[in-house]
Structure 1
């Protein structure tokens, strides 16, 4: 049965020639394509430097250059939930809104590594494999963007994407992310291969306010976080936490499990009150997944996250 629509999920940070080819391949197999722009709720970082709107603009421009019929392509933001079942439900929900409930849907993608595990989370959906482009991935393009070496190949980066990247390189956000890239690389270099870290965080909510810390360091500079610290390698919290959040892709430097305690943080970890409504309305003001932790604990969703996570292709 020919699917009514094809769903293409990715981070597209940034879009490149393989992404364009995948959308065009999907358009050849289905009447309509829904592009879901993942990590739409996360702050700018070296892993997710571009907003959902910026990625949609880049990809739309690249598809226009390639002659694709944009009337058949829909773009929607998709938040990271760090809960695989909730995330998959979001994908199904948006597909139902765009194509209609019960419509025949195909999921676009190829299984390149663990980040492609989500392709198996949609029983009943058809699979629409796309050809892999060896040696081309957005991680390398981000490295080239933030280090200046090596230069991305012009053929791998469509003109519409290069134009936005050139403008982005003139912004304060780019300067901050270049510093963050260097800091992340330096932090990783100090860790033995395969290191998994633990961190302690405190969530304190009282009288309509939540206590948050503003990060001064290069990684996540200026973003809010729950007060606390990352423990040295090999150390674990001494006391049991109210909840543990350990999605594989939640932290920038290394896989890190967040042990979250309820109540005021020790005085050594400074924090200030922020109106809770303001904090809840600003997910992209938060470092890593701290807004997700806040909202899940406020809903009473405590406990460890299932290990499969919801890592997305780059």
Structure 2
């Protein structure tokens, strides 16, 4: 960091899943260039998953316990929810968090980070702020840390080279929880799924379909019976068969999981929108691209009957205004929000 310009605030956005020495290195470098560091902890209110195994509160605790005393008073930790498929909303959330915390329009603000992969494209989304590039210390990869932790929960040399002692202790304590046991089982299931495709001559891209069924101010959701995403809410859907169209695949999965009492022609009549959702990291199972069909059955005289079946543990109609993103599987909450808001 050869540039000598100094800032009032530096902003660092990360998921910290988990917090490691590479993150602390960025904190230290940022505070050489700014009086105060705002750390925005991303994916703040998503459900636990292999990519995001720890809640905001857990990561906040992890970081606070690991901070050197001389830095702690100059760092503010803030929750930043995801807004997948809506960059503008996410950018506004970031700027609002910073504005409300800084409360000084004349403050000099810089965004700190390093371009590691496609997930750090956001570094170019805030042209009003200065940009401070920080290197990736020793090329640390948090995905490798998570995978190792889920298969070797007891502290090891691998962990101690990357994780701070306070974080190691926290992770060891967490490894005795029910939440950790569920993550381990989910990891086993996902790795088993991946192993079935590991010998293909090219990377596999999976195609799925989902159905958003609306009746007035409610939508039809299932509760998943199996990992990944066991006990989380999801849109009814699944993998496309080789010899069916996307639309027919959607209707087949809808029938198998919900037994929705609506004829095919009626569904066709009330189809509002079809949309592709293809965030590269949307699924822990690999590259999964889904096609979601949005049906609005509100004109029908009464709410259609439905019953959970197949991979659905339960089924219910949920009020749109009561949906909570930390109850949803993968990106299904964001799919719902996108379709409801873009008609």
Q: TM-score range by the shorter chain?
A: 0.7 to 0.9
Give the 5 Å matches for 1:63-74: 63=67, 66-74=68-76
Deviation at 1:21, TM superposition (A): 1.4
Q: Is the 8 A contact 1:198 1:236 kept in 2?
A: no
Structure 2 counterpart of 1:244: 276
Structure 2 counterpart of 1:113: 117
Which consecutive unaligned segments of at least 5 residues does structure 2 have? 249-270, 298-303
Matched, 1:228 2:269: no
Q: Is the 8 A contact 1:197 1:233 kept in 2?
A: no
Q: Is the 8 A contact 2:20 2:163 kept in 1?
A: yes
Structure 2 counterpart of 1:287: 329
Seen in structure 2, the aligned counterparts of structure 1 residues 143 and 235 have a Cα distance that, compared at 3 Å, is farther
Q: Is the 8 A contact 2:25 2:137 kept in 1?
A: no
Q: Which moved more, 1:108-117 or 1:33-42?
A: 108-117
Q: Is the 8 A contact 1:24 1:68 kept in 2?
A: no
Structure 1 counterpart of 2:260: none
Deviation at 1:207, TM superposition (A): 4.7
Q: Is the 8 A contact 1:197 1:230 kept in 2?
A: yes
Determine which structure has more spread, i.e. the larger CA radius of gyration: 2
SS in 2 for 1:112: coil
**Which of 175, 184, 197 in structure 2 is aligned with 1:178?**
184
Deviation at 1:11, TM superposition (A): 0.7
Deviation at 1:116, TM superposition (A): 2.4
Compute the RMSD of aligned alpha carbons: 2.6
Matched, 1:48 2:52: yes
Q: Is the 8 A contact 2:194 2:285 kept in 1?
A: yes
SS in 1 for 2:203: coil
Q: In structure 1, what is the Cα distance between the partners aligned to 2:107 and 2:320?
A: 37
Deviation at 1:277, TM superposition (A): 5.3
Seen in structure 2, the aligned counterparts of structure 1 residues 205 and 110 have a Cα distance that, compared at 3 Å, is same
Which consecutive unaligned segments of at least 5 residues does structure 1 have? 303-314
Deviation at 1:137, TM superposition (A): 2.1
Q: Which moved more, 1:26-35 or 1:231-240?
A: 231-240
Q: Which moved more, 1:189-198 or 1:226-235?
A: 226-235
Structure 1 counterpart of 2:99: 96
Structure with more contact order per residue of length (Cα contacts < 8 Å, sep ≥ 6): 1
Say how many residue pairs are matched: 298
Structure 1 counterpart of 2:319: 276
SS in 1 for 2:70: coil
Q: Is the 8 A contact 1:203 1:262 kept in 2?
A: yes
Q: Is the 8 A contact 2:224 2:234 kept in 1?
A: yes
SS in 2 for 1:242: strand
Give the 5 Å matches for 1:1-314: 1-63=5-67, 66-82=68-84, 83-100=86-103, 101=105, 103-148=107-152, 151=156, 152-191=158-197, 192=200, 193-231=202-240, 237-238=246-247, 242-263=274-295, 272-276=315-319, 279-280=322-323, 282-298=324-340, 300-301=341-342
Q: In structure 2, what is the Cα distance between the partners aligned to 1:222 and 1:279?
A: 18
Q: Which moved more, 1:218-227 or 1:92-101?
A: 92-101
Structure 1 counterpart of 2:265: none
Give TM-score, length-normalised by structure 2. Answer: 0.79
Q: In structure 1, what is the Cα distance between the partners aligned to 2:213 and 2:275?
A: 14
Give TM-score, length-normalised by structure 1. Answer: 0.85
Deviation at 1:223, TM superposition (A): 0.6
Structure 1 counterpart of 2:300: none
Q: Is the 8 A contact 2:223 2:232 kept in 1?
A: yes
Answer 1 or 2: which has greater helix percent.
2
